[in-house]
């Protein structure tokens, strides 16, 4: 069964590849109309996370963004701890 790791937790995805891709595309597209009730901008990263299980280019993009965000976070957090 395909799964993705997010925030240290493993999330199982549907076993059907076309269903996963369709679900990821829907989440991403509906996320762009996030100003509407219930739909939100939170759906874009979730959709990309679902798509990363099947599409290597999106998997690389997600990994690159994660590494940059963690480096930024550690740099900012290190500066705050040094001044405190």
- The per-residue pLDDT for range 18-33, each reduced to its tens digit, is 888 898 999 899 888 8
Q: Are 3 and 12 in contact (CB under 8 A)?
A: yes
User: What is the per-residue pLDDT for 4?
Assistant: 77
User: What is the per-residue pLDDT for 5?
Assistant: 77
User: What is the per-residue pLDDT for 16?
Assistant: 86
Q: What is the DSSP letter of 8?
A: T
pLDDT higher at 72 or 13: 72
If you average pLDDT over residues 39-53, what whole number do you get? 86
Q: Are 31 and 47 in contact (CB under 8 A)?
A: yes
Q: How far apart are CA 25 and CA 20, in angstroms?
A: 9
Q: CA distances (Å), 73 to each of 51, 54, 59, 80, in order?
A: 25, 28, 21, 11
Quickly state the pLDDT bin for 64 (edges 50, 70, 90).
Answer: very high
pLDDT higher at 1 or 15: 15
């Amino acid at each position: 069964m395909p799964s993705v790791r997010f925030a240290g937790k493993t999330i199982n995805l549907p076993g059907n590849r076309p269903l996963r891709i369709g679900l990821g595309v829907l989440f991403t597209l509906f996320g762009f109309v996030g100003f509407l009730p219930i739909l939100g901008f939170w759906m874009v990263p979730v959709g990309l996370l679902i798509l990363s299980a099947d599409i290597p280019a999106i998997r690389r993009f997600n990994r690159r963004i994660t590494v940059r965000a963690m480096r930024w976070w550690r740099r900012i957090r290190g500066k705050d701890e040094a001044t405190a």
